[in-house]
Amino acid sequence: MDFYHVIRTRRSIRSYKPDPVPDDVLMKVLDSARIAPSGSNRQPWKFIVIKDEETKRRVAAACSGQMFIAEAPVVIVACGRNIHYNRGGYMGDLSMLVDVSIAFTHLILAARAEGLGTCWIGAFNNDELKRILNVPEEWNIVAVTPLGYPKNESFEEPGARKQLSEIVSIDKFQE
């Protein structure tokens, strides 16, 4: 699939078929996250792949009750650990969010290229998810996504977006 088509048609999917994701496809998607770039190649990430029905339900409940998450055959939880680097001089312990988000973006784009749907979930209870998934203290949850084949939704281009002229400045910041 053409890369730009993948980018233009990746969208948040909230309804999934029960069809399992083949292991070889899942491994390709996960490998796309593995090879993502990170600052000083620290790779401060860990991805938890959840297939157990009860665990998926508990994770969905900890994601502000978004139970559609548990409908997908796979749920992936991206974790990050503190890299003790103050990116930009202001990010402090949260610098790892940049690296984990890059890897997670690779994962969701690879999933789209494989015909799989995802939905980047940012509404979750970090402490509850850490408890459910036995995540060590020095790690935190960065994002969650269901992963599966869309049920009734299709991949289509996004709705209204700002024009490039509204989001791009040349040489210096301009309002």
Chain segment 1-13, per-residue pLDDT in tens:
899 999 999 999 9
pLDDT of residue 155: 84
Token pair 């070889």: residue: 24
Mean pLDDT over residues 64-90, rounded?
Answer: 91
Query: Among candidates 123, 13, 118, which has minimal Cα distance to 60?
Result: 123
pLDDT of residue 84: 78
* Other beta carbons less than 10 A from residue 161's beta carbon: 9
Q: Is residue 175 part of a domain?
A: no
Q: Is residue 168 part of a domain?
A: no
Q: Is residue 84 part of a domain?
A: yes
* Least confident span in 87-91, 104-108, 124-128: 87-91
Residue of 134 and 95 predicted with greater confidence:
134
pLDDT of residue 8: 93
Q: Is residue 169 part of a domain?
A: no
Confidence grade of residue 79 (pLDDT, cut at 50, 70, 90): very high
Find the DSSP H helices in 40-133: 53-62, 68-71, 96-113, 126-133
pLDDT at residue 14 greater than cutoff 80: yes
Evaluate whether 141 touches 129 at the Cβ level (below 8 Å): yes
Q: Is residue 157 part of a domain?
A: no
Q: What is the CATH number of the domain that holds 110?
A: 3.40.109.10
Q: Is residue 98 part of a domain?
A: yes
Report residue 103: phi and psi, to 5°.
-65, -40
Q: Is residue 16 part of a domain?
A: yes
Confidence grade of residue 90 (pLDDT, cut at 50, 70, 90): confident
Q: Is residue 167 part of a domain?
A: no
Distance, CA of 32 to CA of 18 (rounded, Å): 24
Full domain range(s) for residue 141: 3-152
pLDDT of residue 37: 95
Report the chain's mean pLDDT, rounded to a whole number: 94
Chain segment 22-60, per-residue pLDDT in tens:
999 999 999 999 999 998 899 999 999 999 999 999 999
Number of folded domains in the chain? 1
pLDDT of residue 141: 98
